[in-house]
Amino acid sequence: MPWDRPAPEREGLPSAWSLFPEELTTLGCPGSPLETFRRLHRPWTWKGGAPDLGPRIRHWLEGVADLHLPAMVERQASADGSTKLALELSDGKRIEAVHMPRRVRNPRVTFCISSQVGCALGCTFCATGSMGIQRNLQAGEILGQVLALMLELGPERGHELTLVFMGMGEPLHNLDHLHRAIRLMCHPMGLGLGKGRITVSTSGLVSGIEKLSRLEPRPLLALSLNATTDEARSRTMPVNRVWNLVRLRQALDEWGLKRGEKFCFEYVLLAGENDTEADAERLANWLGELRRAHNLNLIPMNEHGASAFQQPTEDRVQQFARWLKDHGCFVTVRRSRGQDVQGACGQLIKGK
Ligand code: SF4
């Protein structure tokens, strides 16, 4: 498609998908800014894979904004139905996203999307962490990622979509662009996503959790926990050296869960590292009152070349889940989708 790669002269212009209707007005939109926004953000109204803007608006917009989406450069289908996609940004850097189709228990399509190229936080079990940070994604690039996936694999409409920020990067390290993208995606004249269908997963960046808790629309929060003592957590997740387990738990108390909301916890099970009965007991104690308002996903380690950690045996995974259930936790053992194409949790790695 001619519009899916940026021309060099467009670099430096804001992405057309990063602009709110009032900003289109400020830039001198010659037609209705709301209608222009609607046509840009609703891919089900597009023609030939591009927004149906009409010649006058398109000509004007091309002068003030960049109308290119991230380009889809690789696509790997997994036997479990999910698809891992690599997208190239305007500067040639690559990010990855995973498309997970509808399931019986989840009638919506789920996208796992990236917020950064690489990640600065260096969790030792994570392939993305081994890349280091290259740069943040702009709001228009985050949104462009979603629109590019919708065009490639569906769903056709925003109300059929669930988003999880569990791809490359620590989303709260890029909070300004992340939240602008969320506001754009929740705009009723755009994709119209409900805030309850967007989950932001953090490694425990407490300063970001505190800021996000005060923003509207406020998405759901997931926390990647993965250890039950400060010593072990600091070993695998360096962020814990700054904000330890007590501080993290305090930030969750201060989040102020609303009626019906829950936290989602992810716990990557690493053989011989965090999978003992004592770990299960400490984890349940750390949750404390949150035992009534949480979902806890146990994710057996997806082995990859950038980490020496191994997946526990199936017996140990099931035993660990039973120990937690005995303590009143709501546990699901999550088989990461896309494992055979390295698209599972902690496996996304790309870059130039
Ligand atoms: S687990 Fe998340 S925060 Fe940690 S290095 Fe990987 S992408 Fe970054």
């969750």: which residue's tokens?
Answer: 252
Task: Measure 131 CA to ligand 1 centroid, in angstroms.
Answer: 10
Share of the chain above pLDDT 70, in %: 92
pLDDT of residue 303: 87
pLDDT of residue 102: 87
Q: Which of 19-23, 86-90, 217-221, 332-336 has the lowest mean pLDDT?
A: 332-336
Angle at 327 between CA 322 and CA 331, to 5 degrees: 50
Taking only the tens place, the pLDDT of each residue in 8-57 is 445 689 999 999 999 999 999 999 999 999 999 999 999 999 999 999 99
- Residue 140 binned pLDDT confidence (cut-offs 50, 70, 90): very high
Q: Quick check: 345 pLDDT over 80?
A: no
Separation CA 287–CA 249 (nearest Å):
8
Separation CA 193–CA 63 (nearest Å):
29
pLDDT of residue 205: 96
Q: Can you give the C-alpha Rg of the chain in angstroms?
A: 21
Closest atom of ligand 1 relative to the 201 alpha carbon? 2
Q: Quick check: 352 pLDDT over 50?
A: no
Taking only the tens place, the pLDDT of each residue in 222-236 is 999 999 999 999 999
Cα 295 versus chain centre, distance? 17
Domain coordinates in residue numbering, the chain: 2-64, 71-341
Task: Measure 309 CA to ligand 1 centroid, in angstroms.
Answer: 15
Separation CA 243–CA 4 (nearest Å):
41
The length of the chain, given as a count of residues: 352
Expressed in angstroms, the distance from the first to the final Cα of the chain is 23
Q: Quick check: 74 pLDDT over 80?
A: yes
Candidates 345, 162, 182, 174; CA nearest to 265 is 345
Q: Which of 5-19, 103-117, 181-195 has the lowest mean pLDDT?
A: 5-19
* Matching CATH number, 71-341, of 3.40.250.10, 3.30.470.10, 3.30.160.60, 3.20.20.70: 3.20.20.70
Q: Quick check: 344 pLDDT over 80?
A: no
pLDDT of residue 129: 87
Catalytic residue set = 96, 345
Is the preceding peptide bond at 21 cis, omega within 30 degrees of 0?
no
The SS3 call for residue 72 is strand
Give residues (CB < 6 A) around ligand 1: 119, 121-123, 126, 128-129, 169-170, 203, 224, 346
